[in-house]
Amino acid sequence: MTPLVQARRPGPRSLVTLIRCEAKMVVRDTAGLVVPLCLPLLIMLTSASGASRTVVANGRTALDLYVLPLVFTMVVAIIGIINMPSFLAYYRRSGILRRLGVTPAAPAMVLAAQAVVSVLQALVGIAVALVVAFLAFGANPPADLGRAVAVVALTMTAMYSAGMIVAAVAPTPNSAVAIGLVAFFVLGALGGMFGGRDSLPEPLAEVGGWLPFGAAVEALSSAWAGIAVSTANLVGLGATVVGGAVVAGVLFRWE
């Protein structure tokens, strides 16, 4: 009675192939590709000209401290809260995950590939916004580059974690988009997407600073200005990461 088959999971080559396929799916989904890259860029273009002439602090302008953090956060939030959950809901609804379930590939590979592609797409969106901001509007680099990169990474993790909650509770791709859109606009509104948190009633502004969108915008702004990121922002983003992971871990279903 000798075992004849060794347990062998698909290796890195398989994951790379899956990432390539997921990337092609994103590229061929025109709306999913264009909206997260172009909508924030459009918002930047409408406000960058004036903002780039208003110096706020440390030689940094309103473009550096308010517009760019908002644009980066929008890119990451659209991809993390709207796009990624809708892909996962589609995969679950259409039975793609079920089909993969009868191959040696673990469904978690799909999750990993989606996360990698989403991060790459977000980085492209951020890079495009940065290039336009630097070349067309004379934007300044962050005073603390390392801190800014760390905040972007934390923001991505928080938004994808929030997106996993959407993916866990949405029964269909359409409902994932609907829930994702509502979550995006609510978080965005409370986080200063429509005119700054200081224009909100005090309690809402306070809450917005703890929620992931507002926390990300404020933390990025601090990193750009070279001042310490507030504990409230870090706790808000960290709590979203943990909360999203726990909720998704309990509620997410592959089928």
Partner 1 sequence: MTSTEPAILAEHLAKSYRGRRAVVDVSLRVELGEAVGVVGANGAGKTTTVEMIAGLRVPEQGRVRVLGLDPRRDRARLRQVLGVQLQQAHLHHALRVTELVDLYRSFYPDPRPTGELLDLVELTGQRRTSFDKLSGGQQQRLSIALALAGRPRVVILDELTTGLDPAARRRMWATVERLSSEGVSVLLVSHTMEEVERLCDRVAVLDAGRVVALDTPAGLVARAGTSTLDDAFVALTGRQLTEEPA
176 interacts with partner 1 by CB under 8 A: no
Least separation in angstroms between residue 97's CB and partner 1 is 8
172 interacts with partner 1 by CB under 8 A: no
Q: 3-state class of 11 per DSSP?
A: coil
CA 246 vs CA 55, 123, 156, 214: distances in Å: 42, 26, 17, 22
CB of 48 or CB of 117, closer to partner 1:
117
How many Å apart are CA 75 and CA 54, to the nearest integer?
24
Least separation in angstroms between residue 120's CB and partner 1 is 17
112 interacts with partner 1 by CB under 8 A: no
Residue pair 83/36 in contact by the 8 Å Cβ criterion: yes
21 interacts with partner 1 by CB under 8 A: yes
53 interacts with partner 1 by CB under 8 A: no
How many Å apart are CA 220 and CA 214, to the nearest integer?
10
Count residues near partner 1 (CB under 8 A).
29
Least separation in angstroms between residue 17's CB and partner 1 is 4
Q: What is the DSSP string of 17-49?
A: HHHHHHHHHHHH-HHHHHHHHHHHHHHHHHHHH
Least separation in angstroms between residue 82's CB and partner 1 is 18
Q: 3-state class of 60 per DSSP?
A: strand
Binding site for partner 1 (CB under 8 A): 1-10, 13-14, 17-18, 21, 24-25, 28-29, 94-96, 98-99, 101-105
